[in-house]
Amino acid sequence: PAAPDIHRGLTGVVVDTTAISTVIQETNSLTYRGYPVQDLAGRRSFEEVAHLLWYGDLPGPAELSAFQARERALRPLDRTTAEVLARLPRTCHPMDVLRTAVSFFGAEDPAEDDGSPAANRAKSLALLAKLPTVVAADHRRRHGLAPIQPDPSLGYAENFFHMCFGEVPDAEVVRCFEISLVLYAEHSFNASTFTARVVTSTLADLYSAVTAAIGALKGPLHGGANEAVMHMLGEIGAPERVGPWLDEAFAAKRKIMGFGHRVYKHGDSRVPLMQEATDRLVARSTDPATARLAALHTALRDAMATRKGIHPNLDYPAGLAYHLMGFDVPTFTPLFVMSRVTGWTAHITEQLGHNALIRPLAHYDGPGQRPVPAAS
Ligand code: CMC
């Protein structure tokens, strides 16, 4: 039979409704529950945005305090989890550590999994609170350092820096980090969110869905791009190498990491704000290496626009920002997980609210039916 109209990669296919976020093409903006993310980032904390995504609205002052108190109390890891994670090979990628951690949380959760919105929100909050503790402990372990316990007197972002580095950097750095968390939190039916929805559609539990989503985010065409950006900049080395490096990359049909987007074809709406926050980190640095790296970053962006008309996505400025904040490159995608877990879990609840098993069809183009040869 003739091949039906196939949309490889589900390009352009609308598979369901969502009330969580949307990209408005006409204004090139992204909204979370109706609020432009450009207006949330820098003005509202990541905790407020998590509340917005899960409950549909920003918290009032009393709701926010209660939410923060619960999040702060849930941060510590129990001894068994810490021991299991400490036994993983030191060479293993932090995304593998995180994926294992979420899977282990699922195995350990004694609660009967009723899948109700309330039960799932409680699990989501526990993940939001505990994932930074896992990421920070693993960051330190890879550097031969003992973990630092969470500090319940600190906000989410400050506490994360405290657990990674033993100190909280100045407000500009924390602000830039918080902006990245808010911008990364949610993006409709991206690959990892869709993965979470597919798993949820079978009525599997939330931990299974989030574990699968972490696997989907790891790849360089999705969240792994923020890490790949730094490797690529390292490979190019200097602004004057951009031209010849691009010649070779285009000849080899290489994808340039941190550029292009399935949804945005004229520039990612989240980039200007992230770039501005990153530029502030560059401007306050006195290290000549930072100035050189920033010049290379700009040169590649400009060359991609001129030569291909392809613009950076959020991973491009975020990768540079995370480097300037002092995180090592393998930690970049786990930082994305810490944020996107809010969007994933909002979608898991929404999927369960109007569930239908996600099970598409394929056009078969393998061998025709044939007899099984006799066994010799
Ligand atoms: N480098 C070089 N060429 C590109 C790139 C790129 N980064 N992105 C798109 N193109 C070209 C592509 O080769 C194609 O050209 P042609 O029509 O001549 O074959 C054209 O632009 C259309 O691209 P496409 O592959 O059909 O676009 P897509 O929607 O399938 O791909 C993408 C989107 C994100 C997979 C792709 O742009 C890409 O691989 N980018 C690099 C990886 C990356 O930065 N990923 C992060 C995505 S956004 C944030 C996130 O999820 O983390």
pLDDT tens string 95-110: 999 999 999 999 998 6
Amino acid at 41: A
* Residue 16: Cβ-neighbour burial (10 angstroms; 0-12, 13-18, 19+): middle
Q: Helix 332-353 to helix 46-55 angle, to the nearest 10 degrees? A: 20
Q: Is 222 a catalytic residue?
A: yes
Among 323, 70, 161, 93, which residue's Cα sits nearest to residue 148? 161
Under the banding of pLDDT at 50, 70 and 90, the label for residue 3 is: confident
| Contacts for 226 with CB less than 8 Å, ≥ 6 apart | 258, 315, 318, 319, 322, 332, 333, 335, 336
Residue nearest to atom 22 of ligand 1 (CA): 260
Q: Which pLDDT does position 265 carry in this prediction? A: 79
pLDDT tens across 115-150, in order?
889 999 999 999 999 999 999 999 999 999 999 999
Alpha carbon separation from 291 to 121, 212, 285, 295, 328 (Å, rounded): 43, 38, 8, 6, 19
Atom of ligand 1 nearest to the CA of 336: 52
Answer whether residue 1 shows pLDDT above 70: no
Question: Which CATH architecture does the domain made up of 225-324 adopt?
Answer: Orthogonal Bundle (1.10)
Tokens at 230, concatenated: 């730094």
Under the banding of pLDDT at 50, 70 and 90, the label for residue 307 is: very high
> Which among 162, 187, 222, 347 is annotated as catalytic?
222
Atom of ligand 1 nearest to the CA of 314: 49
Residue nearest to atom 36 of ligand 1 (CA): 260
What string of DSSP letters covers 315-344?
HHHHHHHHHHTT--GGGHHHHHHHHHHHHH
H/E element, 262: none
- Residue 194, classed as helix, strand or coil, is helix
Atom of ligand 1 nearest to the CA of 258: 44
255 Cα: distance to centroid of ligand 1 (angstroms): 7
Q: Which residues pair with 84 in a beta bridge?
A: none
Residue nearest to atom 24 of ligand 1 (CA): 262
> Which among 51, 139, 187, 261 is annotated as catalytic?
261
Could you tell me the pTM of the whole model? 0.96
Ligand 1 residue neighbourhood (C-beta within 6 Å):
9, 190, 221-223, 225, 255-262, 310, 313-315
Residue nearest to atom 32 of ligand 1 (CA): 261
Amino acid at 297: H
250 Cα: distance to centroid of ligand 1 (angstroms): 13
Q: Helix 225-236 to helix 288-308 angle, to the nearest 10 degrees? A: 100
Backbone angles phi, psi at 253, to 5 degrees: 60, 35
Answer whether residue 112 shows pLDDT above 90: no
Residues 290-298 have a mean pLDDT of 97
Q: Is 57 a catalytic residue?
A: no
Under the banding of pLDDT at 50, 70 and 90, the label for residue 27 is: confident
Per DSSP (E only), the strands in the chain are 21-24, 29-32, 35-36
Under the banding of pLDDT at 50, 70 and 90, the label for residue 113 is: low
Give the chain's mean pLDDT: 96
